[in-house]
Amino acid sequence: MADYVNGKTDWFAHGLPREGETENVAYAGELVDEHPPTCHLESSVAEVADLLEQSAYGYCLIVNQQRVVLGRLRRSVIAGADPTASVESAMESGPSTVRPNTPARELAERLRAQELRTAVVTTPGGRLIGVFWRERLEAPDDQAGSSS
Amino acid sequence: MPDSVDLNGVKRLLQNGAQLVEVLPPAEFAEEHLPGAVNIPLKSLDVSSAAQLDRRRPVIVYCYDAL
């Protein structure tokens, strides 16, 4: 016999499937964009600027080889930064993240209250699952605009 | 004494045909549980309730979290 010590909270926090009465309640992890702009610590600010040029995102997420989120570089910071500088020197470390089993409607309301449009969704260990866009709950087929 | 397993351990055991048992009360099980799990609340866990399990396959028990 084996004891899954971390229990179902851990399972759901990794965005894994579930059964039960809440099966039809949308969770944030099910509605994310799985391919937001990402780069590595060694990337340059100029590379990120290129990456964001045609992107709806207002930031790039810095991840390691395991896709663990290390930081975020905002478009507004890029404008005033040395383009040859490394992302590491310009990024903000450890951006706020949420777990994929956060109910999507609840998360959208939280974002609205804080006047934010997106939330970075990760596993408890920080591995990037994707980015949740508040607007997607209201208009799932719409392309999102700029982010905050 | 059961062995403690983490998420990767659970996935490995499930690939080998393990059975999942949630030991929380029925209402919490009904609300949300792992796919394929059966509910045997801790208070009713005995020889009789455990008889529904396949003795030839590994068993993984879980509750809400580590606390």
Q: What is the CATH number of the domain that holds A64?
A: 3.10.580.10
Distance CA A95, CA A116 (A): 13
Exposure class string for A62-84: b at 16+ Cβ within 10 A, else e: bbeeeeebbbbbbbeebeebeee
Chain B: nearest CA to A1, how far in angstroms?
5
Helix, strand, coil percent content, chain B, rounded in steps of 5: 35, 20, 45
Q: Is residue A130 part of a domain?
A: yes
Closest to A101 (Cα-Cα) out of B51, B57, B64: B64
**ipTM higher than threshold 0.85:** yes
Q: Is residue A59 part of a domain?
A: yes
Contact A21 B33 (CB under 8 A): no
Structural domains of chain A, count: 1
Q: Is residue A2 part of a domain?
A: no
Burial class (CB in 10 A: 0-12, 13-18, 19+), A94: exposed
Chain segment A65-119, per-residue pLDDT in tens: 999 999 999 999 998 899 999 999 999 999 999 999 999 999 999 999 999 999 9
Expressed as residue numbers, the domain containing A82 is 27-138
Distance CA A137, CA A26 (A): 9
For Cα atoms A50, A67, A114, give the angle at the middle one, nearest 5 degrees: 75
Q: Is residue A70 part of a domain?
A: yes
pLDDT band for position A139 (cuts 50, 70, 90): low
Residue A23 CA neighbour count, 13 Å, CB half: 10
In chain B, residues with a C-beta closer than 8 Å to the C-beta of A11 are 7, 10, 34, 62
Q: Is A24 on the interface with B (CB under 8 A)?
A: no
Q: Is residue A20 part of a domain?
A: no
DSSP assignment of A53-71 equals HT-S-SEEEEE-TT-BEEE
Contact B6 A6 (CB under 8 A): yes
Which member of A7, A17, A22 has the closest CB to residue B35?
A: A17
pLDDT at A142 over 50: no
**Given the structure tokens 């179902």, which residue do they identify?**
A8
Chain A: nearest CA to B35, how far in angstroms?
5
For Cα atoms A105, A109, A112, give the angle at the middle one, nearest 5 degrees: 135
Task: Check: pTM over 0.90? Answer yes or no.
Answer: no
Q: Is A133 left (phi over 0), alpha (psi -120 to 50) or beta?
A: beta
Chain segment A46-80, per-residue pLDDT in tens: 999 999 998 999 999 999 999 999 999 999 999 88
Q: Is residue A11 part of a domain?
A: no
Asked which of A50-54, B29-33, B62-66 is least confident by mean pLDDT, the reply is B62-66
Residue of chain B minimizing CA distance to A8? B64
Q: Is residue A79 part of a domain?
A: yes
Distance CA A85, CA A21 (A): 51
Predicted local confidence at residue B67, as pLDDT = 66
Q: Is residue A62 part of a domain?
A: yes
Chain segment A25-41, per-residue pLDDT in tens: 999 999 999 999 999 99
